[in-house]
Structure 1
Amino acid sequence: MSFSLAIIGRPNVGKSTLFNRLVGKKLALVDDRPGVTRDRREGAARLADLSFTVIDTAGLEEGSGASLQGRMRAQTEAAIETADAILFMVDARAGVTPDDKYFADLVRRAGKPVVLAANKAEGRAGEAGFFEAYTLGLGEPVPISAEHGEGMIDLFDALRLALPEQTNAPAAEDEEAAPRQFADDEDGSDLDLAKPLRITVVGRPNAGKSTLINRLLGEERLLTGPEAGVTRDSIGVDFTWRDRKMKLFDTAGLRRRARVVDKLEKLAGADALRAVRFSEVVVLLVDSTIPFEKQDLTIADIAASEGRAVAIGLGKWDLIEDRAKTLVTLREEAERLLPQVRGCPVIPVSGTTGEGLDQLMRGVIAVHETWNRRISTSRLNRWLLSAVEETPPPAVSGRRIKIRYMTQPKSRPPHFVLFGNQLEELPASYERFLINGLRKAFDLPGVPIRISKKSGENPYEGKKRG
C-alpha cells in the first residue's frame, strides 16, 4: 500500500535536498539561500523497498495571510492536510530554534503520524542539535544527512514504525513484533524478528561473493565466473534460514578508487556502498589465499563508519592447506587490524563446497543481536564509576575533566552519551579506553560503538535509579 509524506520545516533545513534524494532526481532547486522553495512539489519516491509520494514544501515562516510568507505557509498547511504522514525536519547544526518549537506545535495539532528528522547530523557539529531535537516532543529524532545520504536506513525504519499498515510493518500494538520500551534499570533489545534481516555481502573483485550466495540459496541465482567484475548491480534476494526471514544483497567487487577508471565500475561501486548503508549486517568476504589487503580493511572501515554490524567470511577456504594454523593467524590479524569491530565473527567458508555456511549465518545472527542491544542506565553507571576511579580522565590546563553520567539513547549500533564538564577536551585515547571497556564489560563484539559528549548539568539528577 502506498502513502504520501510531506516534508515540513523552517527554511534552509534541507527539505528539498532530501526530496531530491528520495525521488532520485534533482527535481527541486537547492541553494544555500533560504526560501528557494515556494510551491509544494510532489514526486514518486523510493526508499529501500518502500514506494510512496513525497511532498516538498516551502519553509515555514510567520507572516500575515496576505503576505508572500503567509501564502507559502498556506501551501504547506494544505500539504499537511492531504498527506498521510509528516516528516518534520530540523537542522542539527543550528540546533532547535523558537521557530522549530512553534511549528512543531502546528504539526502536533495536525494529528498525523510524525517522523522527526535531524538533518546535517554528520560529524560532531550536529551532535548537540540532535539531542536538542528530543525537546520538541515529537518522539525520537532520526539523525540523517540528506546531502550525503547518511541515516536513510534509520529513516526507513522510522517510516515503517509510523505507518505500519501502509508499509506492511507489524503494528505498534503487536507486543511480539514492535520494539519494546525499557525502563532505565532494565537491559533490553530493539530486535524485531518480524522484519527480514538485511545482509550485504561485500569484498574485493573475485572474492567469491556470488558463489557464496548461490550456495546459501541452493540454486544458481546469481551469475558467477572466473572473471573479476561479473557482478555490477547490487542484487537483493529473499532468503529464509532456520525460519528467519532475510534479504541478501550481492554487490560488485570494490577496488581502490585510484584504480577505477571505467564509469560503469564507478557506478557499480557506488551502488554497492548504497547497499551497505541499507543493510544491518555486512559480511566482508576475504580471499583466504591473499587475506586482509588494504582494500579489505578499507571496506571494513566503511561498514563500521556507516554503523553496520560486521562478520568476516574467510572465502575459498577449500584452497587452504594448513587450516588450523591459518585460522589462528587470520583471527589474530582481524583483531589487530580492525579494532573498530573487534571481536567480530571470523568464519572460514567455501562457496564451492558449502563449508562453514551454517557457522557464518550463526555469526551473522549473533552480531545482529548485539547490534540491537540496549544496556540499562544503572549498569552503565556502575561500570563507569569503577572505570573512572581506576583510570581517571587527564587534567586540562590544571582542571580535571569530570565524567558524571552515561546513558544509551539508542542502539543499531550501540550509542552512548557522556555527561560532565570539559568533555570537549576529552582525548581520543580516553574515548578509545571507554569504548574498549564497554565492549569487554557488556559483551559487544563485532559492532561499532558510538560515544557522544554533552557538557552541563546531569538531566537525570535526582531520578530514582535501579
Structure 2
Amino acid sequence: MRLGVAIVGRPNVGKSTLFNRLVGQRIALVDDRPGVTRDRREGEATFGDVTLRVIDTAGLEEAAEASLAGRMRRQTEAAIADSDVVLFMIDARAGVTPADEHFADTVRASGKPVVLVANKAEGRAADAGLLEAYSLGFGEAVAISAEHGIGIPDLYEALVAASPEGAVGADGAEGEAEAAPAPLKIAVVGQPNAGKSTLVNRMIGEERLLTGPEAGITRDSISVEWSWRGRPLELVDTAGLRRKAKVVEKLERLSVGDALRAIRFAEVVILVMDATAPLEKQDLQIADLVAREGRALVLALDKWDLVEDRPARLQEIRADLEETLVQVRGVPLVPISGLTGYGLDRLMESVVGVHETWNKRVPTAQLNRWLDAVVARHPPPAVSGRRIKLKYLSQTKTRPPTFYLSCSRPESLPDSYRRYLMNGLREDFGLAGVPVRLMIRGERNPYEAKRRVKR
C-alpha cells in the first residue's frame, strides 16, 4: 500500500520544491513568483522503506468560490481528502502569518494526521519562525530546506510516526501493481483554451483538473490514470502551446517545455482543436511537431456542439486536412464535445486503432513482393543515363513504422520517388494516420576496404 501524502500551505512556501525533492525529479514547475502551481499533481517516491504517493497542491488562498483562486482551493481540499497524511508547510524565515493560522484550521478540520514542516530553515534567520510554529498547534515543526535537502531524514521519521496504522510496510499490493500491464500513454495537447482539461475531466468522469473561461489555466503537465473498456491508460493534460514568438515569460517557457516533454514520452497524442476555428497555423505546427517526434496522432474537433451545419463543416475541414497535413495523411479526425461528452467513444476507438497501426509490423517477404510490383508499375527514373536499382525493402522497427530500402546510388534517388514509395507503403499496408519513415542506403562493396589499404 502506498502512503498518500499531500503537501499544502499558502503560496510560495516551497511546496513544489519539496515535491521535486521527494520524487527525485524536477517535474513540478518552480518559480520565484507565488501561485505557480494550480492543479494538483501526483508523483511516486521511495522514502526510506516507505512508498509514497506525493500530491503537490496549489497555495491555499482566501477567495470567492467562483474565482480561479477559489477553484484552485477546491483542488487542494480534494487532495487533502485523498491523502493519508498532510504535510502542512510554512516559511520559517517569514514566520507564522495570519494566512498560515487560517489554513491551519482548515487542515485541522479535515481530521487527517498532520506533520508541520518549516521550510527555508537554513541559517539563523529561521530560528524565530521555528519557535512561532508551535502556536499553530501541530507540535514541533520539522525544520528542512527543500532546495538544499537539509532535514529530509527528520521529515522521514516524522512522516512514519504520523502514518495511520497499516499504511506503511504493506508490499503485497505493490507487487501486484508491478505485474499489471503498462498503461497506454496519451498526451492531450493544443492551443490555449481549446478545451483540453475539460475533455480529460469528461473522460475520467470527475473534476480532476482545473477548468474555467480563462485561457492558459493549466501550467504543469498533469498525469491522470484511467481505464477505458478494461484497458489501462495514462492521460497527460498539458499547457496550451502558443506561437513561439508570443512565448516570452520564463514561466510560460517552462510550461511549454513541460508540454513538449509530454509529447516525446507519449505513444498517442490527441491534438484538441476548436471546431469553430480549426487547422490554424499553430494547430498545423503542433501536428507537424508530433509527426517529427514519431508519435501517433488523433485530431479532436472540440466544441462541436457549437457548429451549426455539421456535415458541410466536417467535409470542408477534411478537404483542408488533405492539403495541409500530408505528412500524416489519413490521420483520424473526430468531432467531439468535452462539455457534453459527445463523440468520446469514437475518439477513444480512434486512439486505440492508431496505436495498433503505430505498432504494426509488415513481413519482409510481403514488402519485397510489393516493391517488385511498385517498380514494375513505376520504375525509378534514370539519372545521368544510369537507372537506379532497388534491391530489397525491410522494416527495421515499429513505433513509428520505419523501413530500410537498399538500392544502388541512393544519393541520386529523387525526393519525388521517395514520397511515391512512402505514400504507397501508407496506403497499401494500412499505415494511415501515423508517421512513416523510409531510410535509404546503398550496397556495401566488400572490396572497398582492400582498395583503401592498397592506396
Find the partner of 1:241 among 228, 236, 259: 228
Q: Distance in 2 between matches of 1:407 and 1:441?
A: 15
Note the 1:106-121 alignment, pairs <5 A: none
Does residue 418 of structure 2 align to residue 431 of structure 1?
A: yes
Q: Flag the 1:24–1:213 CA change in 2: closer, same or farther, 3 A.
A: closer
Shift of 1:424: 2.1
> Does structure 2 retain, via aligned residues, the 8 Å contact 1:347–1:360?
yes
Q: Distance in 2 between matches of 1:458 and 1:369?
A: 38
Superimposed CA distance per residue, residues 22-44 of structure 1 (whole angstroms, 9 cap, x where no aligned partner): x879xxxxxxxxxxxxxxxxxxx
Note the 1:261-276 alignment, pairs <5 A: 261-276=248-263
Partner of 1:339: 326
Find the partner of 2:283 among 296, 303, 315: 296
TM-score calculated relative to the size of structure 1? 0.58
Q: Flag the 1:341–1:50 CA change in 2: closer, same or farther, 3 A.
A: farther
Q: Distance in 1 between matches of 2:412 and 2:188?
A: 39
Shift of 1:385: 0.6
Q: Which one has a bigger Cα radius of gyration?
A: 2
Does residue 189 of structure 2 align to residue 196 of structure 1?
A: no
Shift of 1:335: 2.1
Partner of 1:213: 200
Q: Flag the 1:247–1:206 CA change in 2: closer, same or farther, 3 A.
A: same
> Does structure 2 retain, via aligned residues, the 8 Å contact 1:50–1:167?
no
Partner of 1:450: 437
Superimposed CA distance per residue, residues 38-64 of structure 1 (whole angstroms, 9 cap, x where no aligned partner): xxxxxxxxxx9899xxxxxxxxxxxxx
Q: Flag the 1:453–1:357 CA change in 2: closer, same or farther, 3 A.
A: same
Amino acid corresponding to residue 429 of structure 2 in structure 1: F
Amino acid corresponding to residue 362 of structure 1 in structure 2: E
Q: Flag the 1:386–1:50 CA change in 2: closer, same or farther, 3 A.
A: farther
Superimposed CA distance per residue, residues 346-378 of structure 1 (whole angstroms, 9 cap, x where no aligned partner): 000001110000000000000000000000001
> Does structure 2 retain, via aligned residues, the 8 Å contact 1:405–1:458?
no
Partner of 1:78: none
Superimposed CA distance per residue, residues 112-138 of structure 1 (whole angstroms, 9 cap, x where no aligned partner): xxxxxxxxxxxxxxxxxxxxxxxxxxx
Q: Distance in 2 between matches of 1:260 and 1:254?
A: 9
Q: How large is the Cα RMSD of the aligned pairs?
A: 2.6
Q: Which segments of structure 1 move beyond 4 Å, counting only runs of 4 or more? A: 48-51, 165-170
Find the partner of 1:389 among 349, 372, 376: 376
Q: Flag the 1:352–1:419 CA change in 2: closer, same or farther, 3 A.
A: same
Amino acid corresponding to residue 196 of structure 1 in structure 2: P
Q: Flag the 1:432–1:230 CA change in 2: closer, same or farther, 3 A.
A: same
Q: Distance in 1 between matches of 2:384 and 2:25?
A: 50
Find the partner of 2:273 among 259, 276, 286: 286
Amino acid corresponding to residue 205 of structure 2 in structure 1: G
Note the 1:126-145 alignment, pairs <5 A: none
Find the partner of 2:339 among 352, 358, 361: 352
Shift of 1:166: 10
Q: Distance in 1 between matches of 2:439 and 2:240?
A: 34
Partner of 1:159: none
Q: In the comparison of the two structures, how many residue pairs are matched?
A: 283
Shift of 1:390: 1.2
Note the 1:35-434 alignment, pairs <5 A: 194-434=181-421
TM-score calculated relative to the size of structure 2? 0.59
Q: Distance in 1 between matches of 2:178 and 2:350?
A: 26
Amino acid corresponding to residue 213 of structure 1 in structure 2: V
Shift of 1:397: 2.1
Q: Distance in 1 between matches of 2:176 and 2:399?
A: 21
Q: Flag the 1:167–1:269 CA change in 2: closer, same or farther, 3 A.
A: farther
Amino acid corresponding to residue 403 of structure 1 in structure 2: L
Q: Flag the 1:270–1:449 CA change in 2: closer, same or farther, 3 A.
A: same
Aligned to 1:374, the other structure's residue is in SS state: coil
Q: Distance in 2 between matches of 1:234 and 1:228?
A: 16
Q: Select between 311-320 and 422-431 the one with higher mean Cα deviation.
A: 422-431
Aligned to 1:355, the other structure's residue is in SS state: coil
Unaligned runs of 5+ in 2: 1-23, 27-42, 47-173, 447-455
Q: Select between 422-431 and 243-252 the one with higher mean Cα deviation.
A: 422-431
Q: Distance in 2 between matches of 1:330 and 1:346?
A: 9
Shift of 1:243: 0.2
> Does structure 2 retain, via aligned residues, the 8 Å contact 1:404–1:419?
yes
Superimposed CA distance per residue, residues 278-315 of structure 1 (whole angstroms, 9 cap, x where no aligned partner): 00000011111111000000000000000000000001
Q: Flag the 1:241–1:440 CA change in 2: closer, same or farther, 3 A.
A: same
Q: Distance in 2 between matches of 1:393 and 1:254?
A: 41
Superimposed CA distance per residue, residues 194-222 of structure 1 (whole angstroms, 9 cap, x where no aligned partner): 32100001101100000000000100000
Shift of 1:395: 1.9
Q: Distance in 1 between matches of 2:359 and 2:285?
A: 24
Amino acid corresponding to residue 218 of structure 1 in structure 2: G
Question: Higher helix share goes to which structure?
Answer: 2
Q: Flag the 1:270–1:166 CA change in 2: closer, same or farther, 3 A.
A: farther
Shift of 1:458: 11
The sequence identity of aligned pairs, in percent, is: 57
Aligned to 2:209, the other structure's residue is in SS state: coil
Q: Distance in 2 between matches of 1:374 and 1:49?
A: 34
Amino acid corresponding to residue 388 of structure 2 in structure 1: I
Partner of 1:162: none
Shift of 1:396: 2.1
> Does structure 2 retain, via aligned residues, the 8 Å contact 1:403–1:423?
no
